[in-house]
């Protein structure tokens, strides 16, 4: 297929460009439906006149419907999106990039979706859907699943379809709560996932930024001890990756402390640990939950993150996680390749 694609790009490059454009329009409608023409044009960054012409074509083919609330994708349109996904991946050379990153970082696996979260917010949903499908392909009876919080992890949980065929599955938050947004906290996402897969859950009602003294006291409580044991025995860990400065601000760290970890070279953050460019931990927030020394003992790590601006952070976090499956987007992956080279 790769040779055929290269041949097509040389002979009829305008056909390939048109295919990409219509795929992007159809996918954007799907993730924002119902959506109006003006909002669609703004999301895609193209003129309304061009959007109008393509919408007329897609409607004539039966791929979308236009109603009072806005445009929606038909069943046939959704099938086209799914069937074109692998074709678009090959068209953009994502398989080659996957192999390069996987070999250089010695990851268990990597899956790259087309697009860049920084330029197109719907790509987060595509990362979520891809990670959700991967998760459902590996989860089994009696598994313990640990989750961190964050918007990308939320996208994963949102895209997991309900299932009742699993038995005795337990879902736990990997760490204490953080921030004011309850919807993206690990406790909330753990309960939501458990309900979707007919499992059970335990919550960790502990703030994510405690003093050492407070941690030592709380960790003696029986309920806390029990959930920590579950977290340490997790079979699957799903976690997000953030930029060090942004995550430090979100965790309420003082400006002096932020400046200190930046001087030490912090670029990436995951599960409360701050990493430099070489993947070395230079700081960790006092908290109750998963510890870095336990990460390597978890059978399957699923890291989800996207956006070219996060590439350096992702590279820092994933350098030493050889049992990790990284699910990201094209924008981040291309930047990671540049950093590696």
- Hey, what CATH topology would domain 2-90 get? Arc Repressor Mutant, subunit A (1.10.10)
Average pLDDT over residues 164-168: 90
Residue 325 phi, psi dihedral angles, 5° rounding = -105, 115
Average pLDDT over residues 35-48: 86
pLDDT of residue 275: 95
Report whether pLDDT(13) > 70: no
pLDDT of residue 2: 54
Report whether pLDDT(91) > 90: no
pLDDT of residue 315: 96
pLDDT of residue 65: 93
Average pLDDT over residues 265-291: 88
Q: What is the pLDDT of residues 314-340, one digit of tens each?
A: 999 999 888 899 999 999 999 999 999
Average pLDDT, the chain: 88
Task: Supply the angle between the helices 94-105 and 330-340 in degrees, to the nearest 10.
Answer: 50
pLDDT of residue 233: 92
Lowest model confidence (mean pLDDT) among 41-45, 70-74, 277-281, 314-318? 41-45
Q: Where are the domains of the chain?
A: 2-90, 92-340
pLDDT of residue 60: 94
Q: How far apart are CA 288 and CA 326, in angstroms?
A: 25
Q: What would the CATH number be for the domain defined by 92-340?
A: 3.40.50.1360
Average pLDDT over residues 241-250: 91
Report whether pLDDT(77) > 60: yes
Q: How far apart are CA 118 and CA 116, in angstroms?
A: 5
Q: Which band of pLDDT confidence, cut at 50, 70 and 90, is reported for residue 197? A: very high
Q: Which band of pLDDT confidence, cut at 50, 70 and 90, is reported for residue 302? A: very high
Residue 8 phi, psi dihedral angles, 5° rounding = -65, -40
Share of the chain above pLDDT 90, in %: 56
Average pLDDT over residues 140-161: 95
pTM of the prediction? 0.85
Report whether pLDDT(18) > 80: yes
pLDDT of residue 209: 62
Q: What does 100-157 look like in DSSP terms, one character per residue?
A: HHHHHHT-SEEEEESS-TTT-THHHHHHHHHHHHHHHHH--TT-EEEE--SHHHHHHH
Q: What does 208-267 look like in DSSP terms, one character per residue?
A: SS--HHHHHHHTTSHHHHHHHHHHHT-SEEEEE-EEHHHHHHHTT--HHHHHHHHHTT--
The structure tokens listed for 309 are 């601006």
């Amino acid at each position: 297929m790769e040779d055929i694609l290269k041949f097509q790009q040389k002979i009829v490059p305008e056909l390939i460009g048109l295919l990409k454009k219509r795929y992007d329009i159809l996918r954007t409608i799907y993730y924002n439906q119902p959506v109006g023409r003006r909002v669609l044009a703004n999301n895609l960054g193209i003129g309304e006149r061009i959007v109008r012409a393509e919408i007329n074509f897609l409607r004539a083919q039966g791929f979308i419907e236009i109603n009072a609330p806005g445009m929606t994708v038909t069943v046939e349109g959704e099938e086209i999106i799914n069937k074109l996904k692998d074709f678009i991946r090959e068209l953009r050379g994502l398989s080659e990039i996957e192999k390069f990153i996987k070999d250089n970082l010695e990851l268990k696996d990597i899956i790259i979706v087309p697009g860049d979260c920084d330029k197109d917010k719907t790509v987060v949903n595509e990362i979520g859907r891809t990670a959700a499908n991967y998760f459902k392909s590996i989860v089994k009876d009696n598994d313990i699943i640990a989750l961190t919080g964050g918007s990308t992890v939320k996208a994963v949980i949102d895209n997991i379809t309900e299932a009742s065929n699993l038995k005795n599955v337990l879902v736990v938050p990997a760490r204490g709560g953080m921030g004011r947004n309850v919807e993206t906290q690990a406790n909330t996402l753990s309960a939501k996932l458990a309900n979707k897969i007919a499992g059970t859950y335990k919550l960790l009602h502990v703030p994510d930024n405690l003093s050492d003294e407070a941690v030592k006291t709380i960790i003696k409580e029986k309920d806390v001890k029990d959930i920590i044991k579950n977290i340490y025995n997790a079979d699957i860990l799903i976690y997000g990756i953030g930029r060090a400065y942004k995550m430090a601000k979100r965790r309420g760290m003082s400006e002096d402390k932020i400046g200190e970890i930046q001087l030490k070279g912090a670029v990436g953050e995951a599960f409360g640990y701050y990493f430099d460019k070489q993947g070395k931990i230079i700081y960790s927030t006092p908290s109750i939950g998963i510890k870095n020394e336990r990460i390597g003992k978890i059978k399957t790590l699923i890291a989800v993150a996207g956006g070219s601006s996060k590439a350096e952070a992702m590279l820092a976090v994933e350098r030493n996680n050889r049992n990790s499956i990284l699910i990201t987007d094209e924008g981040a992956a291309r930047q990671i390749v540049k950093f590696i080279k």
